[in-house]
Chain A
Amino acid sequence: MNKKSLAYPYVIWAGIFIIVPLLLIVYFSFFVDGQFTFQNYTKFMEDYYIKAMGKSISLAFISTTICLLLAYPLAMVLNGKDISNRGVILLLIILPMWMNSLLRTYAWANLLENNGVINNVLAALNLPTVKFLYGDGGVIFGMVYNFFPFMVLPIYNALAKIDKGLIEAAYDLGANDITTFRKVILPLSMPGVVTGIIMVFMPALTTFLITRLLGGGKVMLIGNIIEEQFTRTGDLGFGSAVSMILMIIVLITLAFMSRKGTLDEEGGLF
């Protein structure tokens, strides 16, 4: 039995439902009424589209950074010996990943409204109320909140895999906490960090939902522009072109982040 043939159903499936659709996007982005053209791409060169792209990248970058800064210490604490029942805590952190992300985001939108629960509590305590929603702040918050577990998990796994002997050896050789962290722990946890960054940056870069629910319609990201082309304007060509540009940015980021191997079969994902 030729065992390679086992993959054939998938090869056919991938051909029809992965490759052909991608080729369709490429086709629609270059052909308008059967004519080859760059017009869909030149249209994107308008400053407001570029600005929206810049905004997407910067918001995704900020959220990823916040996630990383919050998640790394948490992963370290969870790996340390000062925390009992760490399994339960880990489970609690992962649990929301299995809950409907729409609901969770919407729950926050509800709490954060100008006249929402949190501001009502603040007002009752005679504290000044805060405008959380309707802008970049709300969107960044939504991204961090939604994607945080995807950052914690790979870093935790990477830290857990570090041979404790190496850390002890570093101390024995006279390294202090900071040096040990810088020279041993951080480099060895890097694959987890990279996976985490990818897992947060990518969905943050391409979301249209979080902006829709928490941005008050005032934040225009690249995902929203694509969605709008397909659900409102009906401009398939331009929508495809923006999708292509987005894909290219994603690929560049990936190539940059994961020079080699981190996302390989044994990446910290599972």
Chain B
Amino acid sequence: MIKFIKRFYVALILLIMYAPVAVLMVFSFNDSKLPIWKGFTFKWYENLANDMSIQQSFVYTIIIAVVSSLIATAIGTLAAMGIHQMKGYKRNLMLNITYIPLLSPDIVIGISLMMLFNVLHIPFGLPTLIISHITFSTPYVILSIMPKLKQMNFNVYEAALDLGATPWYAFRKVILPEIMPGVIAGLFIAFTLSIDDFVVSFFNTGAGVDTLPIKIYAMARKGLTQQLMPFQQLCL
């Protein structure tokens, strides 16, 4: 009996989480703009496939996610190793600064960067989007690598150096394999954060550079239900 209740509870929560996805999947084939079944159609998918601006925003989203997550991972990996070596107030200061983007509301990150670009007269566009994405994702990279560094034994690295390895060789052969899971996790997190970000992008995008979430928001605001439904399926 208790077992049944437990299973029922899990099933119920999964149902609530996936009900809209399922219903929308059905309605994405509906030949009507209204939520009343009129007939089967692929036209919303065709619309999507034919809409150049959506394809373009998809390309931008990918470019931004790839570039920003790679740069964030590079900067973040180096930073994690550097911070790991730091001691005392410097270390605490750096860690606290790293927590700022993690803990401040999206909207504050978005507007503060927007004001920075305005003050410096940096034109909004792809570069500002990439910069802002790197800014909010690097801390996640750092924080996913730090625990791995903590676990590893640095004497091995010293030993490698003593045995004549160059620092770069020792880094590649000793440190990198140890922290690789953290680096990969960081890269993954940075990539997903970038793909999914709406708020920060919204304030820092420029002429003609829309990411997918911005496009989706614009369409949702117009109430373009049907045009949106295929997205739902594709994003799954």
A and B in direct contact, judged by CB atoms within 8 A: yes
| A interface list, Cβ under 8 A from B | 1, 3-11, 13-14, 16-22, 24-25, 28, 70, 73-74, 77-78, 80, 82-83, 89, 92-93, 96, 98-104, 106-111, 113, 115-117, 120, 145, 148, 202-203, 205-206, 208-209, 212-213, 223, 226-227, 230, 236, 239-240, 243, 246-247, 250-251, 254, 263, 265-266, 269-270
Measured between C-beta atoms, what is the minimum distance from A147 to chain B in Å?
12
Bound together, the chains give a CA A236 to CA B221 distance in angstroms of: 24
Bound together, the chains give a CA A263 to CA B105 distance in angstroms of: 16
> Taking A25-B111, A120-B36 as contacts, is the C-beta distance between A7 and B17 under 8 angstroms?
no
B56 interface residue, CB < 8 Å from A?
A: no
Determine the residue in chain B with the shortest Cβ distance to A96.
B17
B235 interface residue, CB < 8 Å from A?
A: yes
The total of interchain contacts (Cβ-Cβ below 8 angstroms) comes to 205
B36 touches A254 (CB 8 A): no
B105 touches A270 (CB 8 A): no
> Per a CB cutoff under 8 Å, which of B10, B81, B114 touches A77?
B10
> Taking A101-B196, A270-B185 as contacts, is the C-beta distance between A18 and B108 under 8 angstroms?
no
A227 touches B112 (CB 8 A): no
B20 touches A7 (CB 8 A): no
B116 touches A24 (CB 8 A): yes
B150 touches A7 (CB 8 A): no
Bound together, the chains give a CA A10 to CA B81 distance in angstroms of: 11
A92 touches B17 (CB 8 A): yes
B176 interface residue, CB < 8 Å from A?
A: no
B97 touches A18 (CB 8 A): yes
Residues of B within 8 A of A236 (CB): 115
Residues of A within 8 A of B81 (CB): 3, 6-7
Q: Is the interface of B mostly helix, strand, loop or mixed?
A: helix
B232 touches A7 (CB 8 A): no
Bound together, the chains give a CA A1 to CA B169 distance in angstroms of: 13
Pick the most buried of B10, B100, B113, B203: most chain A CB atoms within 10 A of its CB: B10
B35 touches A74 (CB 8 A): no
Residues of B within 8 A of A246 (CB): 105, 108
A206 touches B86 (CB 8 A): no
A82 touches B6 (CB 8 A): yes
> Per a CB cutoff under 8 Å, which of A7, A77, A101, A226 touches B78?
A7
> Taking A7-B94, A106-B220, A213-B220 as contacts, is the C-beta distance between A80 and B142 under 8 angstroms?
no
> Taking A98-B196, A209-B198 as contacts, is the C-beta distance between A117 and B105 under 8 angstroms?
no
> Taking A5-B82, A206-B107 as contacts, is the C-beta distance between A117 and B115 under 8 angstroms?
no
Bound together, the chains give a CA A109 to CA B119 distance in angstroms of: 38
B199 touches A209 (CB 8 A): yes
> Which residues, 61 to 94 on B, are CB-close (under 8 Å) to A?
75-76, 78-79, 81-83, 85-86, 94
> Taking A70-B13, A102-B220 as contacts, is the C-beta distance between A111 and B113 under 8 angstroms?
no
B105 touches A103 (CB 8 A): no
Residues of B within 8 A of A226 (CB): 107-108, 111
Measured between C-beta atoms, what is the minimum distance from A89 to chain B in Å?
6
Residues of B within 8 A of A1 (CB): 167
Bound together, the chains give a CA A203 to CA B107 distance in angstroms of: 10
A6 touches B78 (CB 8 A): yes
> Per a CB cutoff under 8 Å, which of A89, A107, A223, A263 touches B107?
A223
Residues of A within 8 A of B101 (CB): 18
